[in-house]
Amino acid sequence: MYFRISDIKNSDFIGKEVSIRGWIHRIRKQKENSFLLLRDERGDVIQIVYPSFKTDNLTIESSIGVKGVVHKDKRAPEGGYEVRGSDLDIYNLSQIDYPLGEYTSIDLLLEYRHLAIRTRRMTMISKIRSSLLRYLRDWFVYNDWFEITPPILVRSSVEGGSTLFKLNYFNDFAFLSQSAQLYLEAMIFSLGPVWSLSPSFRAEKSRTVRHLSEFLHLEAESPWVTLADLLKVQEDLISSTVSNVIKERKNEFEFLRIDTSKLENITPFSRMTYREAIDLLRNKDFKVVYKGSPRPIEYGDDLGIDAEKLLTENSHVPIFVTNYPLKIKPFYVKVDPNNEEEGLAADLLAPYGFGEITSGGLRESNLQQLTKRMMLEGLVSSDYEWYLDLRRYGSVPHGGFGLGIERLLRWILFMTDIKDTVPFPRTMSRINP
Ligand code: 4AD
Ligand code: MG
């Protein structure tokens, strides 16, 4: 029987013989003894001591089985436990030219991502990512929302034509889905509140630290909701998930030297309207580049990365920005009955400068309004007839939102580059490994 390393680092095991297996994380050969750091498949490490003659041919990343006795020795790294090895099984002697070391460049780490995911840093991130997905799902299960699985091959664009991936589809064409929203909207008529977790694709032609061309998208949609209801759902979902994740993954956050006090007491989320955001930015003398030259930001401009950074960098809690001008939001956003120029939409901006992590709001449920807006956006109606049927046959007030998993992780991990939050990032310049 093989133990996990995390189990044997325990005073009950002192003096006991154990078998463990894993990979050689580090090796230091001295005259009499060799000191290995063995890493198991959970990313935990422990020091192994062998007489040096036994380890002559061992290399970094070789996979081995170790039998030996557990000792407490305060000189041993990572908790003061070590195994004094007797037997040694070699599963695979790693080639001597293992390409990654302590000082590998960021580019090389991306080139060898299939190996770099073995680093302890990436292991910790992956564990946090897994817990995050688990607690998000738990929230929906607990609150009685149905999980659905939308199609990925689609004919309709949701978030504008410029970021669509187009592909051959038999004798025709299709797109990779940008968002499951339209399909979630179709499902609320028979399931009520629904949600999905699926990849979304965006042919982002800009290189930024917060855009991937494939990202994991959590989307939710419900009939009979108000904008206030939707904000409440997001606040509850995100705050309870973050609180559970930092509890469950305390050690991982510690290893990554993340100050989790910055993730505690994040409710209530604050709120401002888009107009208030613009006023705030103007007071801070924020400028945008317009036709090649800078000018003060104006009502009607998009809030880009830098504007969102300025709005959130001194906030400890996430901020909802609501009531956007319709012309900077997609066709489906519901018109505010009190202001024809604005839509009942909201983006959620993460604090400490991280910016947008969700977009959502109420959907236009009126057939004429929706058709008019789709025409303005130049959407070919034959591909959207099915969607318009949802407004023809028993349309109801409804709304929802989309949350970017990597965006949420980028915030709670306090990492600048979104590529760090996903094992195999896809960007404009990277599709392999
Ligand atoms: O703001 P977006 O484009 O909104 C939608 O797709 C809606 N149809 C969602 C809905 O209401 N069901 O995308 C939603 C979220 C963003 O707030 C962001 O967190 C993430 O998805 N996102 C990206 N994450 C990484 N890379 C990209 N290129 C992203 N584009 C959007
Ligand atoms: Mg958005």
Q: Is residue 368 part of a domain?
A: yes
User: CA 429, 430, 433 angle in degrees (round to 5)?
Assistant: 165
Q: Is residue 78 part of a domain?
A: yes
Residues in the chain: 433
Question: Of 38, 60, 92, which one is at a domain's C-terminal end?
Answer: 92
3-state secondary structure of 429: coil
CA–CA dist 27, 59 (Å, integer): 8
Q: Are residues 155 and 283 in the same domain?
A: yes
Q: Are residues 163 and 30 in the same domain?
A: no
Q: Assess whether the C-beta atom of 215 lies below 6 angstroms from ligand 1.
A: yes
CA–CA dist 191, 188 (Å, integer): 5
Structure tokens at 182: 């339209």
Q: Assess whether the C-beta atom of 334 lies below 6 angstroms from ligand 1.
A: no
Quote the ligand 1 centre to 19 CA distance (angstroms). Answer: 47
CA–CA dist 334, 343 (Å, integer): 5
pLDDT of residue 205: 86
Quote the ligand 2 centre to 306 CA distance (angstroms). Answer: 15
Domain containing residue 358:
113-421
User: Digits of tens for pLDDT over the chain (433 positions)?
Assistant: 999 999 999 999 999 999 999 999 999 999 999 999 999 999 999 999 999 999 999 999 999 999 999 999 999 999 999 999 999 999 999 999 999 998 899 999 999 999 999 999 999 999 999 999 999 999 999 999 999 999 999 999 999 889 999 999 999 999 999 999 999 999 999 999 999 999 999 998 888 999 999 999 999 999 999 999 999 999 999 999 999 999 999 999 999 999 999 999 999 999 999 999 999 999 999 999 999 999 999 999 999 999 999 999 999 999 999 999 999 999 999 999 999 999 999 999 999 999 999 999 999 999 999 999 999 998 877 899 999 999 999 999 999 999 999 999 999 999 999 999 999 999 999 999 9
Q: Assess whether the C-beta atom of 355 lies below 6 angstroms from ligand 1.
A: no
Q: Whose CA is nearest to atom 31 of ligand 1?
A: 404
3-state secondary structure of 106: helix
Q: Is residue 406 part of a domain?
A: yes
Q: Are residues 391 and 251 in the same domain?
A: yes
Q: Are residues 127 and 23 in the same domain?
A: no
Q: Which amino acid is at 248?
A: E
Nearest CA-CA partner of 124 in 262, 261, 249: 249
Q: Are residues 170 and 225 in the same domain?
A: yes
Q: Is residue 108 part of a domain?
A: no
Q: Is residue 207 part of a domain?
A: yes
Pairing of strands 339-350, 355-362: antiparallel
**Could you say which DSSP state residue 13 is in?**
G
Q: Is residue 430 part of a domain?
A: no
Q: Whose CA is nearest to atom 21 of ligand 1?
A: 404
Question: Of 61, 92, 123, which one is at a domain's C-terminal end?
Answer: 92
Quote the ligand 1 centre to 179 CA distance (angstroms). Answer: 7
Q: Give the environment of ion ligand 2: residues with CB less than 5 A.
A: 359
Measured on CA atoms in the order 176, 182, 185, 189, is the torsion positive or negative?
Answer: negative
Please give the number of the atom of ligand 1 that sits closest to the Cα of 360: 11
CA–CA dist 183, 152 (Å, integer): 10
Q: Structure pTM?
A: 0.97
Is residue 203 within 8 A of residue 175, CB to CB? The reply is no
Q: Are residues 190 and 290 in the same domain?
A: yes
Question: Of 36, 60, 92, which one is at a domain's C-terminal end?
Answer: 92
Is residue 217 within 8 A of residue 402, CB to CB? The reply is yes
Q: Which residues of 123-141 are buried (b: 16+ CB within 10 A; e: fewer)?
A: bbbbbbbebbbebbeebbe
Other CB atoms within a 10 A radius of the CB of residue 23 amount to 20
Q: Assess whether the C-beta atom of 357 lies below 6 angstroms from ligand 1.
A: yes
CA–CA dist 192, 244 (Å, integer): 27
**Could you say which DSSP state residue 427 is in?**
B
Q: Are residues 86 and 208 in the same domain?
A: no
Q: Are residues 133 and 88 in the same domain?
A: no
Q: What is the DSSP string of 154-190?
A: ES--SS-GGG--EEEETTEEEEE-S-SHHHHHHHHHH
Q: Is residue 104 part of a domain?
A: no
Name the residue of 176, 233, 302, 359 to mutate for ligand 1: max ligand atoms within 8 A of Cβ: 359
Counted domains in the chain? 2
Q: Is residue 355 part of a domain?
A: yes
pLDDT of residue 394: 98
CATH number, domain containing residue 52: 2.40.50.140
Quote the ligand 1 centre to 403 CA distance (angstroms). Answer: 6
Beta strands in 52-203 (DSSP E): 63-72, 81-92, 146-147, 153-154, 166-169, 172-176, 194-201
pLDDT of residue 315: 98
Q: Are residues 72 and 169 in the same domain?
A: no
Q: What is the DSSP string of 280-309?
A: HHHHTT-EEEETTEEEE--TT----HHHHH
Is residue 155 within 8 A of residue 174, CB to CB? The reply is yes
CA–CA dist 366, 177 (Å, integer): 24
pLDDT of residue 43: 96
Q: Are residues 181 and 74 in the same domain?
A: no
Q: Bridge partners of 359?
A: 347, 402
Nearest CA-CA partner of 22 in 117, 90, 99: 90
Q: Are residues 120 and 232 in the same domain?
A: yes
pLDDT of residue 93: 98
Residue at token pair 């401002």: 272
CATH number, domain containing residue 305: 3.30.930.10
Q: Are residues 64 and 155 in the same domain?
A: no
CA–CA dist 227, 252 (Å, integer): 36
